[in-house]
Amino acid sequence: MPALLENQRFERYRVVQYLGSGVSGESYEAEDTVLQRKVTLKLIHPWMILPDAARRQFFREMQGISLLNHPYLAAVLDYGEIDGRLYVVRRYVTSGSLLSSDGRLWFQPPFSISDAIHYGYQLAQALEYIHKRGCLHGTLTLSNILVLRGPNVDGEPGFAPFLLADVGLANFVRRFGQPQVQLLPITSAPEQLGKRVTPASDQFALAVILYFWLAGRPPYLGSPEEITHLKLTETITPLSSFNSHVTFEQESILRRALAVYPEERYPSILAFAEALVATLIPPSKEVPQSDLASQPAPEFERVPQTEPALFSELELQPLEQKLENEKAPDLEPVLQAEPQFPTISEPVPEPALRLESLATLEFTDIPHTEPPLAVEIDLEQQSQPQPTPEPLPQPTPVPLPQPEPETLPEPAPEPLPEPAPEPLPQPAPDVYQPLPQPAAEPASTPQPETSGSSEPQSSQPEEALELATPQPGISPRLIISLPGSAETYDFVLEREETTIGRAGSDDVLFDQDESTSRHHALLKHEDDHYVLYDQRSANGVFVNGQKLADDTGYMLADGDQISIGIYELVFRCTTPELPNRQMHFSRQK
């Protein structure tokens, strides 16, 4: 039976209705008759008067909690003692908590991954604020998360629908009182079984809530004894089996926050939330694409503006002024065009051959410069008087030596195949030996150079490019194959030491296989190479089918296959392969 009735006065507060009870006490909707506002009145441990030492401790703790002021916290408005009964007054929210009818209607799990992580990040900010001021929540559950508004239908940025309430109240009653409900909530951490509460306990509780928001069910199901056993053994159903959109990295982060020992979790609850936020795919960058699309626009406008201006000037001005105008803005096309036309008129055979050779080698450059200039100059030479071509033969000797060195290197590749056939027939008598036979195959490749030099030259660089191009784009990483799935996960090796195992503190977490040890393997970066060590695991570490010894390490090379339990890993790295890469190194302790 509630301790207070409707319309009953409690100090300056008038009770409107009974809301419910919990571990810490009973909650009522009340009216502040002095300030004329609705509040939530909470009687602490109303079924029994606490001893004097406990009441003094209550005032010491509430003095710090009442000073907390954060946008994601329900502010404490008043606290005190009347007739030996302790009470706390906080902000009233009409919609209630996530367990109310409105909360269950508006926020039905599973949430989208983005919403769940962002809501969890907001709660983590409030809890981090509490921890930095020496306080703990101690009992984070759905009943302590108040609902301010409905879901974010309009996609409002920075949408915050929740408030965190009842900081430290349930923890206080469990330490100094006799709670009517002895069972711990499902969000309680394993260390709370021994009445030990740390900031990592709030991290564990938030991870349980995030799992519930993503999967639509809690990570532990069963009787209280079964749930305790699941927590202590870190037995959790894979989150990806309920939500296929959850990545392997996101599930690994949640599993680390759900570790048995607080030391194996993240150093702070904010670090845990930030790790989850970092896994979200960033939005597409539309601004740089629009900038890139707008930059070439003026360049294309300038090109057509210069060409018609030159043609119009050539038609209206005499030939001498046209030549001067052509030399001023563009020196290169004028010098190339002027020497070619007089050479064609005087020595017909020689420039014809040179122009044909140039046209075959540089076909893209000649048609751009010759056709427009040739047609205009021929038409103008017929209409204008003949003294105009007199300055034309003057620059003829200047460009003539320019194409000559271009034609000279053409016969240069001809003497190259001459010395090639000389050493080729020499290894012919060695063909009968069994060992040199594979060497004779690559030696036969340069022979077709005498008949067609283009075929061997094109094949050799292609093979070199195939070997060289993929390496620069690969950073040291482990390609992990999930058990029973074709999906792979890339783990980039950024640290000097990378731990692999089933413990929540491991960098690479393999928690879906009981045959994997808690600290199974260690990957070290030593002397620009990566060396793999077996951490005295129960079932061993296999590289390319060979089991590693406990006290020795194996220097990995690009493409090595690693087997740890049911997990398959492929090591990829750009470090060049050494001939003695199979050497084993002693463990560095």
Residue 469 counted as domain residue: no
What's residue 158's pLDDT?
83
Containing domain of residue 530, as a range?
Answer: 477-572
Residues 6+ apart with CB under 8 A from 190: 204, 228, 231, 232, 260
Position 467 confidence tier, pLDDT thresholds 50, 70, 90: very low
CATH of the domain at 32: 3.30.200.20
484 and 532, same structural domain? yes
Check whether residue 100 and residue 227 sit in a common domain.
Answer: yes
* Reported confidence tier of residue 573, pLDDT bands at 50, 70, 90: confident
Residue 176, in any domain of the structure: yes
The answer on 258 and 124 residing in a single domain is yes
| Average confidence (pLDDT) over 42-59 | 91
Q: Which residue has the higher pLDDT, 166 or 414?
A: 166
From 143-157, 244-258, 302-316, 535-549, the region with the lowest mean pLDDT: 302-316
The reply to whether 86 and 107 lie within a common domain is no
pLDDT value of residue 427: 43
Instruction: Let me know whether 46 and 101 are in one domain.
Output: no
216 and 161 belong to one structural domain: yes
| Percent over 90 (pLDDT), the chain | 44
- Look at the alpha carbons of 186, 147, 238, 136 in this order and tell me if their dihedral is positive or negative: negative
**Identity (one letter) of the amino acid at 121?**
Y
- 349-353, 408-412, 558-562: range with highest mean pLDDT: 558-562
> For the segment 490-533, what is each residue's pLDDT rounded down to a tens digit?
888 888 889 998 877 788 888 777 788 888 899 998 888 899 99
Which of 280, 304, 339 is the last residue before a domain boundary?
280
Q: What is the mean pLDDT of residues 111-127?
A: 96
Report the chain's mean pLDDT, rounded to a whole number. 74
The yes-or-no verdict on residue 241 having pLDDT over 70 is: yes
Whether residue 103 sits in one domain with residue 84: no
Q: Say if residue 265 is in the same domain as residue 124.
A: yes
The pTM of this model reads: 0.54
Q: How far apart are CA 170 and CA 184, in angstroms?
A: 11
Residue 349: other Cβ atoms inside 10 A? 7
Tell me what pLDDT residue 452 has.
41
Would you place residue 474 in the very low, low, confident or very high pLDDT band (cuts 50, 70, 90)?
Answer: low
Q: What is the pLDDT of residue 3?
A: 85
CA distance 446 to 427: 14
Q: Is residue 360 part of a domain?
A: no
The secondary structure of residue 472, as a DSSP letter, is T
Greatest Cα-to-Cα distance within the chain, rounded to the nearest angstrom: 124
Burial of residue 415 (CB within 10 Å: 0-12, 13-18, 19+) is exposed
Residues whose CB falls within 8 Å of the CB of residue 326, separated by 6 or more in sequence, listed in order:
310, 314, 333, 334
Q: Indicate the DSSP class of residue 180.
A: S
Place of tokens 């209409």: 383
Per-residue DSSP letter, 181: -
Q: Is 42 part of any domain?
A: yes
What's the one-letter identity of residue 61? E
The yes-or-no verdict on residue 457 having pLDDT over 90 is: no
> Does any domain span residue 196?
yes
What's the structural domain count of the chain?
3
Of 41, 61, 91, the position where a domain reaches its end is 91
Residues 162 and 275 in one domain: yes
pLDDT at 47: 87
Query: Chain-centre distance of CA 171, in angstroms?
Result: 38
Task: Identify the pLDDT of residue 287.
Answer: 41
Q: How far is CA 220 from CA 52, 403, 531, 545, in A?
A: 39, 83, 38, 37
Domain-embedded: residue 164: yes
Q: Are 130 and 243 contained in the same domain?
A: yes
- Do both 86 and 106 map to the same domain? no
For residue range 140-162, what is the model confidence (pLDDT) as tens digits?
999 999 999 888 888 888 889 99
Residue 352 resides in a domain: no
Contact 455, 448 (CB under 8 A): yes
| CB burial of residue 392 (10 Å; 0-12, 13-18, 19+) | middle
pLDDT > 70 fraction of the chain, expressed in percent and rounded: 64
The residues near 253 (Cβ < 8 Å, ≥ 6 apart) are 272, 275, 276, 279
**Paired sense of beta strands 497-501 and 521-526, if any:** antiparallel
Domain boundary, last residue among 91, 110, 144: 91
Q: Give Cα 279 to chain centroid, integer Å.
A: 6
Residue 486 lies in a domain: yes
Question: Which position has the token pair 């508004």?
Answer: 149
Both 202 and 127 in a single domain? yes
Other C-beta atoms lying within 10 Å of the C-beta of residue 258: 24
* CATH code, 219: 1.10.510.10
**Which CATH number fits the domain that encloses residue 528?**
2.60.200.20
